[in-house]
Structure 1
């Protein structure tokens, strides 16, 4: 038991480093979010546990839709609807092999662009800060969050996680920071369109 407890800090070290990086970004992020909002960069958390595959994609709306303001024109509304329709097909978007037998158990899509209410507390704080320092701050940084839980009848067929379709579907996405937990362990990788696959 003692040997296991001694190994635990080393096992958690990557998480501590990732957390420290997020905290560092937070210190310099004037928008008050937990992670930096960087155009061209998305984040994906993926976990395979038994027959359950969870995928959580977070991206600035700019990467997916091409803008971050509220959709007011018909063209903008059509673009938002098209992106939402693409995000509602995770089996296609994540190019999951048919042999894995994955079906969508649950999915959640959130974004102010989809009509979700923004967190008013953040805006009140921003307004207060703007009044305090005498400068007006414009916060048009919309994010899109997609969370999927998939049930896979043959998870052994999931050999790689191929994100090429995300890069092809959303070309403004230049890289995706991936945290992957699978039976073979945990890894943190940055993938690009040229190297879009990683092993489970």
Structure 2
């Protein structure tokens, strides 16, 4: 499912390194900052892949295991919203995109640490400090629960994908104040920060 996104850590290493450096300067790990999410997007032919990573706090409002009925209801509601990516990402109808595959992962959903956590940690060099063992990586992600959503779309008319509108993501999850986007298309790659005031990105 992630054949396009597998190339992202390598293709975007300079961008990731720059973001990680900036985050370290501000006293943050960069990988887990409340109010900030990350989106990797890759468009190749008729295939569009989106990978959204966010601290659970941004989407659910907490990061502890959902034990109360109220917390479980919040987690279920957020999962239902994430299960509708065509609405969430407001893809142009003219592009004729359909969901070919999707996967949601989070400790809050009862999942173990995401299988690509090692890739993420390698990018921002977090695990070296904690000892780069899978156990240490899993521990880190349970201390700071994240929600990872992977989507693969098949688009009949990819030329109609002129923009990626994240406005609905910000409206749906108002605790998200910024999304760090890394975008790869046939014409190159770009890194940009999307905000509620500047939520539309050009492919």
TM-score (norm 1): 0.78
Q: Structure 1, residues 44-63: CA drift from partner, whole Å, max 9, x if none?
A: 00011000000000000000
Partner of 1:116: 111
Q: Distance in 1 between matches of 2:137 and 2:11?
A: 33
Counterparts of residues 76-95 of structure 1 (less than 5 Å): 76-95=71-90
Q: Evaluate the alpha carbon distance shift between residue 85 and residue 125 of structure 1 in structure 2; reply closer, same or farther with a 3 A threshold.
A: closer
Counterpart of 2:34 (choices 34, 39, 51) is 39
Check whether the contact 1:25–1:36 (CA below 8 A) recurs between aligned residues. no
Equivalent pairs counted in the alignment come to: 173
Q: Distance in 2 between matches of 1:25 and 1:141?
A: 20
Q: Distance in 1 between matches of 2:90 and 2:45?
A: 19
Q: Distance in 1 between matches of 2:138 and 2:13?
A: 31
Partner of 1:68: 63
Check whether the contact 1:176–1:190 (CA below 8 A) recurs between aligned residues. yes
Partner of 1:98: 93
TM-score (norm 2): 0.77
Gaps of 5+ in 1: 1-12, 127-138
Gaps of 5+ in 2: 1-9, 115-133
Counterpart of 1:15 (choices 12, 15, 18) is 12
Partner of 1:131: none
Q: Distance in 1 between matches of 2:138 and 2:159?
A: 48
- Over aligned residues, Cα RMSD in angstroms? 2.7
Q: Alpha-carbon deviation of 1:182?
A: 1.5
- Larger Rg belongs to: 1
Partner of 2:102: 107
| Higher mean C-alpha deviation, range 139-148 or range 49-58 | 139-148
Q: Alpha-carbon deviation of 1:21?
A: 3.3
Partner of 2:145: 142
Counterpart of 1:56 (choices 51, 56, 69) is 51
